[in-house]
A = this chain, B = another copy of it.
Amino acid sequence: MTLQLNMQSSQLSSEEISTLKEMRSRCAKNILLSTSLASSGHPGGSLSALDMLLVTYGCINHNPSNPQDQERDRVILSMGHISPGVYSTLAEFGYFTEEDFLSGFRRTGSGFPGHVERIVPGVEWDTGNLGQGLSTAVGIAHGLKIQGRSPKVITFMGDGEQQKGQISEAIRYANKYQLDNLIVIIDRNHLQICGNTDDIMPQAVREMYSSSNWNVKYLEDGHDYNSFFQAFSDSYQSPNGKPTVIVSRTVMGKGISFMENLAKYHGSPLSPEQLQKALAELKVDGQVDKWQELRSQAVKTNTIQEYVSQAPEIAMGEPILYGADTLTDNRSAYGNALLGLAEANNVEGTTLISGISCDLEGSVKMGGFHKHSPQAYIEAGIQEHHAATLAGGMASIGMVPFFSTFGVFAVSEVYNQNRLNDFNHTNVKIVATHVGLDVGEDGPTHQCIDYLGLFRNYYRSSVFMPADPNQTDRIVRYAAAMDGNVFVGMGRSKTPVITKEDGTPFFDQEYSFQPGKADWLRRGDEATIITYGALTPTVMKAWEQLSADGKKVGVLNMASLVPVDEEAILEAAATGPIVSVEDHHIDTGLGSIIALVLADNGKSVPFKRLGVKQYGGSGKPAELYRRQGLDSDSITETVQTILA
């Protein structure tokens, strides 16, 4: 049943063309039906891109009976709103039935959501926020190159979408890394929601690609099967060291006389009367009553594609133990651990771990990794939006990308890119080496004090904040081996090794990191200080002052913040007052998490939150901390007050 076009031929046969035309007719019907039945959705762009979708799926190497086939070509739909066009095409190729699609489209709980999602067999990537799809495709294409694999990567994009700045970043990157396994198709219908693209935002689309050395092919008629086939098959079969973009002049609403070239059909379905008129033009019977009846029945979930983990087996390597007298920064411990992971996993022609940075290799301590695995060290330039999404794409083919830069650039700047990765169940490790006031003199624009406030809005990401070089080592190795997105944050400064009361390292050979498990650095029965990360040594100093003062106070190190150790917090609450200390916005981090645990459990204890109460300044970290009441004296005083 599946159409496979013969790319050995210089043009399509008349049989192939007539098959494509039949497919188009059914798909056009289903695009119009699905959106009218749902009373919402995007028919115009779907009809615009439809011919190119059909030829593309007719050419590529894919296996509808096994959508997860590792050798399949990947198609990324960056303009996720053309889901009716995509689903109708995938139905033609046998990924599911027309009935599945039409009875379920845009219904709660069905397998056919309004913007394309991976729960639909054949869909590789959840999209919907424009401008990110190319970066995903670039990440996949680069990952495949690194691993020496042959699948091609195809991306469909709208032309309005070209306005998003992230696309210019991805274009440059694809040129730098000569990704000739990448084919981009732009549906150039010259319309976006509010009108003509030339009126909304004048843009020289083809020049944007050609000025970055891409192969640029322009088709006067993107609906002409043969010309698109020739452009596509040539790009597919004759890579020349450059990525290719096929810019196809198309018509919004193509094939329905009263829809053509009208922007309003971007996001408006046809009324029942218009639908009948359109179906008459297509000379097909829409069987509207039948579908309405099916849509009044319970939603079917049979086609929903479960998420399949792409996380590879990762060897964690030999932990590095930093002695009690070591004075180093957690960044260096990260760099050492990352090198260890490369040594354990990027061997004998296999490359599992990649390292991505944005013009900060030295600061994020990726030099050792770069030297060991030059094929997998990626300098993405000052293009964080692209880099974050790129990492997600790379993870989707079974690599483990480490993305490292300052916290502000890895989290605050790319919140929505990380969010799309979270949707897509990726396996990205973001290790930010400069977070908090600990960044110091570079000042507030560079001080990330919202990583928890931001990451807590996702549903599928973890946040780990190591307290010293030993814990950094163990957390980084753990993060590499676990499946899922992880944020690991650390300050910039050198920091002492946390020790037990006997003076030996707390995080020693016996220690292994567990998500959702806090560390009782000290036990005490009068009160508990809960902290993490850069301020743990300061809290330990306060603990010493309090001990000298005869106060028996516990210190709980909360290295795993998402998920959090509720039991430990409740244990602290059962003991007595709690003081939380964090190098983070005072209302959205650890203190807020503790408050939730207390409130949810109906517990009330004397509770004082110490954190960042205003934007930090430019100065030495110790001074910035003091100004915010985050020095050991202030902590000591707070505990003494709460105990008084």
List the interface of chain A (C-beta within 8 A of B): 38, 40-41, 80-81, 106-110, 112-115, 117, 126-131, 160-161, 163-169, 172-173, 175-176, 192-194, 200-204, 207-208, 211-213, 359-363, 379-383, 385-386, 408-409, 412-413, 415-416, 419-420, 423, 440-446, 449-450, 453-454, 456-457, 459, 585, 587-588, 591-592, 594-596, 598-600, 602-607, 609, 614-615, 617-620, 623-624, 627
Contacts and interface: CB of A to CB of B under 8 A. Distances in A.
Contacts of A130: 382
B106 A194 contact: no
Contact of A108 (B161, B459, B617): B617
A39 to B, nearest CB: 8
B165 A164 contact: yes
Given A192-B381, A456-B585, 15 more contacts: A107-B618, A108-B623, A128-B443, A129-B413, A165-B167, A168-B168, A200-B359, A412-B416, A423-B444, A453-B456, A453-B588, A588-B588, A598-B598, A598-B599, A602-B607
Nearest to A264: B362
Given A212-B202, A459-B615, A359 B108 contact: no
B453 A113 contact: no
A114 B164 contact: no
A89 to B, nearest CB: 19
B202 A175 contact: yes
A257 to B, nearest CB: 24
A379 B211 contact: no
Contact of A624 (B108, B115, B167, B457): B108
B459 A445 contact: no
22 contacts: A107-B618, A108-B620, A108-B624, A109-B617, A110-B619, A113-B617, A114-B442, A114-B446, A115-B443, A115-B618, A127-B445, A128-B446, A129-B413, A160-B382, A161-B382, A163-B383, A176-B201, A453-B454, A453-B456, A456-B588, A588-B588, A591-B596
Contacts of A113: 443-444, 617-618
Contacts of A360: 193-194
Nearest to A604: B604
Contacts of A106: 441, 618-619
Looking at A130, A380, A442, the one whose CB has the most chain B CB atoms below 10 A away is A442
Contact of A419 (B169, B412, B457, B604): B412
9 shortest A-B CB distances, which residue pairs? Answer: A165-B165, A108-B619, A128-B445, A201-B381, A113-B618, A604-B604, A595-B599, A108-B623, A450-B457
A167 to B, nearest CB: 7
Contact of A618 (B108, B166, B363): B108
B602 A592 contact: no
Contact of A595 (B114, B168, B208, B596): B596
A641 B381 CA distance: 55
A627 to B, nearest CB: 7
A416 B416 contact: no
Nearest to A38: B441
A165 B408 contact: no
A183 to B, nearest CB: 21
Given A203-B172, A607-B602, A382 B131 contact: yes
Contact of A416 (B176, B202, B413): B413
Contact of A165 (B80, B383, B614): B383
Contact of A163 (B172, B175, B208, B602): B172
B441 A423 contact: no
Contacts of A587: 456, 596
Contacts of A175: 202
A164 B384 CA distance: 8
A413 B128 CA distance: 12
Nearest to A130: B382
A599 B588 contact: no
Nearest to A622: B108
A186 B112 CA distance: 48
B602 A604 contact: yes
Contact of A445 (B108, B423, B619): B423
Contacts of A600: 595, 607, 609
Given A176-B201, A202-B212, A423-B445, A381 B108 contact: no
A340 B84 CA distance: 40
A130 B204 CA distance: 24
Contacts of A161: 382
Contacts of A413: 129, 415-416
Contact of A599 (B200, B383, B607): B607
A115 B445 contact: yes
A203 B192 CA distance: 28
A126 B444 CA distance: 10
Contacts of A605: 602
A588 B450 CA distance: 12
A457 B453 contact: yes
Contacts of A423: 444-445, 615
A628 B334 CA distance: 40
